Amino acid sequence: MTSPNAEGWTVVVGVKQVPDSDEVRIDPDTGRLDRANAPAVLNGPDRDALEAALSIRDAVGGTVTAITMGPPTATAVLEEAVAMGCDDAALVTDRAFAGSDTWPTSYALAMAAKHLNADVVVCGEETTDSSTGQVPPGIAAHNGWAQLTYVEDVEPLPEENRLAARRDVEGGHERVAADLPVVVAVAYGEFDARPAGLHRKIFAENDFEPDQLTAEDLSIDPGDVGMDASPTQVGGMDTVEPVERKNEILEDVADLLEPIAATAEVDG
């Protein structure tokens, strides 16, 4: 066990830039998914992660650093994180990372978390684009750290060098304490994100430059990341045809009785 940190905890929060899920549309001409034209935004569930990370700093002191792995344009989500109150932010970026599935993505983020000496890594439940939810357990697994997923509240225990959390499990809840360093994936919708402060926002947008971390900075062999190091491949994508429905708007509640009775007959 490492000795309790009198300076507070080093909290790292992972944020991802995604196409705005409300704007991802099926192109009516081609019938294909049009995500190129959707504006790029901060993944919604990462707002919960940012709030949880900042609340840990509120409780025990220390710093919060936001990290994102992505192209330089992803800096926008780091600015949002800094505006919300993160002390610093880093862009994990390298051409070697291109085409990564969750295995190398979580490897690069795990190395970045180590590089930043993280005590706690906070992530969102899943993203709104590929929504695997596999990156947080992946970070923990690469580093051999503890993990807590589907977390609804966090309670730092600095004297014990542990973090306790309430987890949502099938049919109920559990309270689990994990040794630091720990990766926490918070449940979507459970942490009410604080609004960005005006001064912080002006700073983030005008004066803030994130640090850049390349594969070399993180001592990552380019062969261990990217497409070639990814065990999974997207073999194809089909747009999902909406299920045909009758779409009848009824004026009179009594008109529902017939279709309801019909479902009982189907069942026998």
Ligand X SMILES: Cc1cc2nc3c(=O)[nH]c(=O)nc-3n(C[C@H](O)[C@H](O)[C@H](O)COP(=O)(O)OP(=O)(O)OC[C@H]3O[C@@H](n4cnc5c(N)ncnc54)[C@H](O)[C@@H]3O)c2cc1C
53-82 residues in contact with another protein (CB under 8 A) are none
Q: How far is the CB of 203 from ligand X (least distance, A)?
A: 22
Site string for ligand X, 104-133 (x = CB under 6 A): -x---x-------------xx-xxxxxxxx
41 in contact with another protein (CB under 8 A): no
Q: Is 69 in the site for ligand X (CB under 6 A)?
A: yes
Which listed option, ligand X, another protein, none, makes contact with residue 46 (CB within 5 to 8 Å by class)?
ligand X
Judged by CB under 6 A, the residue of 11, 12, 42, 49 near ligand X is: 49
73 in contact with ligand X (CB under 6 A): no
**Could you say whether residue 12 binds another protein (CB under 8 A)?**
no
Strand (E) or helix (H) holding 260: helix 257-267
Of 113, 128, 149, nearest in space to 16 by CA: 128
Q: How far apart are CA 112 and CA 119, in angstroms?
A: 12
**Options 4-12, 63-71, 207-215, 253-261: segment touching another protein (CB under 8 A):** 253-261
Phi/psi of residue 81, nearest 5 degrees: -65, -40
Q: Does 86 engage in binding with ligand X (CB under 6 A)?
A: no
36 binds, among ligand X, another protein, none (CB under 5 to 8 A by kind): none
Task: Give the DSSP H/E element, type plus range, for residue 148.
Answer: strand 146-157
139 vs 158, which CB is nearer to ligand X?
139
Q: Is 254 in the site for another protein (CB under 8 A)?
A: yes
164 binds, among ligand X, another protein, none (CB under 5 to 8 A by kind): another protein
The nearest distance, CB 181 to ligand X, in angstroms, is 16
Residues 6 or more apart whose Cβ sits within 8 Å of residue 120: 9, 10, 11, 12, 53, 56, 156, 163, 180, 181, 182, 183, 184
Least gap, CB of 139 to ligand X (angstroms): 8
Question: What is the token pair recorded at 223?
Answer: 């062969």
Q: Rounded to whole angstroms, how far apart are CA atoms 55 and 57?
A: 5
Nearer to another protein (CB atom), residue 6 or residue 240: 240
Kindly state the DSSP code that residue 224 receives in the 8-state scheme. Answer: G
Which of 18/204 has CB closer to another protein?
18
**Cis peptide upstream of residue 181 (ω within 30 degrees of 0):** yes
Instruction: Give the CB-nearest residue to ligand X.
Output: 124
- Residue 68's beta-bridge partner residues? 91
Q: Measure Cα distances from 258 to 3, 150, 243, 246, 255 in Å.
A: 70, 42, 22, 14, 6
Instruction: For tokens 């709104």, name the residue.
Output: 128
Q: How far is the CB of 165 from another protein (least distance, A)?
A: 10
Restricted to residues 183-222, the positions that interact with ligand X (CB under 6 A) are 188
